[in-house]
């Protein structure tokens, strides 16, 4: 049975301040937790209902993390979700050093993405296309925000997400490819033949790519609308723009 103090400590992890202080974050739901347990990330605690233990296949993982059986009512009290999903894990926040970047592989760069759902969806999409490195500006929403983690659907466990000053990073002599930025104008992304070492930058949902980052870009690109019937949407959602960009980046290489 969970003590009131332990319930309070877990619930605090829904807040950025306490995640930073403790170095821990919450992962919920069977898909995300199972992906977490299979990953190299460090798991400190695991809580689940008896029903989840019986049907999840957790025993087959031969996991060394003991699972504490709790009631559905207790799960409701520690969950960040409106509808708790039977299992909750507490993991150590990964500390990825920007020096670990592999410049031989494609890199997706995010400048000022603030919506946790957008960031989570972008990470999930990067996982789909095999992009394993995402570099974020410091003002991007946290990877460990519960809404971000939920939106990744487990992909957070396979993608390395780095937070760093983008102008400094983009000025590195280690970057061997071209740096492309998505704008409302520029060369059509359909006309670009990407290389393995190229980077694409996706900007903030409302303001796009910041002026300081724009100075580091080799070429502006845009996703052309196919609407030929007059009025059209003003712009694409950031996660949709990222998905189309990643499709082009990974599918058309010289």
- Please state the rounded mean pLDDT for residues 46-61: 88
- Please state the rounded mean pLDDT for residues 44-73: 89
What is the reported pLDDT for 230?
Answer: 66
Reply yes or no on whether the pLDDT at 241 is more than 80: yes
- Distance from C-alpha of 242 to C-alpha of 113, rounded to nearest angstrom: 11
Look at residues 172, 176, 156 and name the one whose alpha carbon lies nearest to residue 164. Answer: 172
pLDDT digits (tens, 9 = 90+) for 165-222: 999 999 999 999 999 999 999 999 999 999 999 999 999 999 999 999 999 999 999 9
Within the chain, strands assigned E span 24-28, 43-48, 67-69, 87-92, 107-110, 133-136, 160-163, 179-188, 199-202, 219-222
pLDDT band at 228 (very low <50, low <70, confident <90, very high): confident
| CA dist list (Å): 53 to 40, 91, 96, 212 | 22, 19, 32, 50
- Kindly list the structural domains of the chain, giving each domain's residue range(s) and its CATH number in brackets, ordered by start: 4-92 (3.30.1330.30), 98-251 (3.40.1280.10)
- Please state the rounded mean pLDDT for residues 56-72: 86
Helix (H, G, I), strand (E, B) or coil at 155: helix
């Amino acid at each position: 049975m969970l003590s009131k103090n332990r319930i309070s400590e877990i619930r605090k992890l829904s807040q950025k301040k306490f995640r930073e202080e403790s170095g821990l974050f919450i992962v919920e739901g069977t898909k995300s937790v199972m992906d977490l347990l299979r990953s190299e990330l460090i798991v400190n605690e695991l809580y689940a209902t008896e029903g989840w233990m019986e049907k999840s296949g957790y025993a087959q993982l031969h996991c060394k993390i003991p699972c504490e059986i709790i009631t559905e009512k207790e799960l409701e009290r520690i969950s960040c979700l409106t509808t708790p999903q039977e299992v909750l894990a507490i993991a150590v926040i990964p500390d990825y050093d920007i020096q670990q970047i592999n410049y031989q592989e494609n890199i997706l760069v995010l400048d000022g993405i603030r919506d946790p759902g957008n960031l989570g969806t972008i990470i999930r999409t990067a996982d789909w296309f095999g992009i394993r490195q995402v570099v974020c500006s410091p003002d991007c929403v946290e990877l460990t925000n519960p809404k971000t983690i939920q939106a990744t659907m487990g992909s957070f466990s396979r993608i390395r997400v780095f937070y760093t000053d983008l102008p400094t990073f983009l000025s590195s002599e280690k970057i061997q490819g071209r740096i492309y930025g998505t704008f409302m104008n520029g060369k059509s992304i359909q006309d670009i033949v990407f290389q393995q070492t190229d980077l694409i930058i996706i900007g903030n949902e409302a303001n796009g790519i910041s002026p300081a980052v724009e100075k580091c870009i080799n070429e502006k690109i845009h996703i052309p609308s196919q609407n030929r019937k007059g009025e059209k949407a003003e712009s694409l959602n950031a996660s949709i723009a990222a998905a189309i960009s990643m499709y082009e980046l990974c599918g058309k290489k010289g």
